[in-house]
Amino acid sequence: MKPGMSVVTLVVVALATAGCSGELRGPNASEQRSPSDAFVIPDEERATVEVAANQGDVAAVKRLIDHYEALSGSDEDAAKWKSVARELGDSQQLNYYAASTLTAARRENDPAKRHAMLVNALGAAKRSNASKANPSAQKLILEATRAMKAEQ
């Protein structure tokens, strides 16, 4: 390695991390904010959003998913609202569920559990595609169908 390379590397790293210094900026410069804070719903607004979500407002459900994913330790709450979104036919959540379930099924050793996971993945992919035709859901349908045929 050339002697000047380490200095160049150091300068590049310093420049790359300059924007990540934790420096307080913006209108609320008194508090440090992370990018995920943009998704946090203020306490005084959350009850209204939850009422709308419970009445089937998919946009409100998606806001709650983003909210709980932005908060540390709120995975169960996020999972609850993702389930609600799937029940309401949200194509994005159905597609995500189909993909993650299909991936998990590939790692499952128990044939009965694997088959049930493939059935769930296929059902979610079909609902996603029926709600909003998309190549991703169509690929998941094909992959789940192939995996189920391979089991036989």
Compute the distance between CA of residue 124 and CA of residue 101 in angstroms, rounded to an integer. Answer: 9
pLDDT of residue 43: 85
Beta strands in the chain (DSSP E): none
User: Average pLDDT, stretch 105-134?
Assistant: 95
21-47 pLDDT per residue, tens: 444 444 444 555 667 677 888 888 999
pLDDT of residue 21: 45
User: Average pLDDT, stretch 120-132?
Assistant: 94
Whole-model pTM: value is 0.72
Q: Using alpha carbons, select from 145, 146, 101 the residue that is nearest to residue 120.
A: 101
Compute the distance between CA of residue 68 and CA of residue 72 in angstroms, rounded to an integer. Answer: 8
List Cβ<8 Å contacts ≥24 apart for 42-51: none
pLDDT of residue 5: 52
pLDDT of residue 9: 58
Domain ranges for the chain: 34-88, 91-151
| Residue 44 CB-half CA count within 13 A | 0
CB 63 within 8 A of CB 85: no
